[in-house]
Chains A and B, each alone.
Chain A
Amino acid sequence: AAGVIQSPRHLIKEKRETATLKCYPIPRHDTVYWYQQGPGQDPQFLISFYEKMQSDKGSIPDRFSAQQFSDYHSELNMSSLELGDSALYFCASTFLGAGNTIYFGEGSWLTVV
Chain B
Amino acid sequence: AQSVAQPEDQVNVAEGNPLTVKCTYSVSGNPYLFWYVQYPNRGLQFLLKYITGDNLVKGSYGFEAEFNKSQTSFHLKKPSALVSDSALYFCAVRDKQDNQGGKLIFGQGTELSVKP
Contacts and interface: CB of A to CB of B under 8 A. Distances in A.
Interface of A: 4, 31, 33, 42-43, 45, 48, 55-56, 58, 90, 92, 94, 96-107, 109
A43 B44 contact: yes
Main SS of chain B's interface residues? Answer: loop
Contacts of B41: 109
Given A90-B43, A101-B46, A43 B101 contact: no
A97 B103 contact: no
B103 A99 contact: no
B103 A58 contact: yes
Contacts of B105: 45
Interface residues of B, number: 28
B22 interface: no
B43 to A, nearest CB: 4
Contacts of A104: 36, 43-46
Interface in B31-48: 32, 34, 36, 41-46
Nearest to B100: A96
5 contacts: A42-B90, A45-B103, A98-B51, A98-B102, A109-B41
Interface of B: 32, 34, 36, 41-46, 49, 51-52, 90, 94-97, 99-109
B102 to A, nearest CB: 6
A102 to B, nearest CB: 6
B87 to A, nearest CB: 14
A42 B108 contact: yes
A48 B45 CA distance: 19
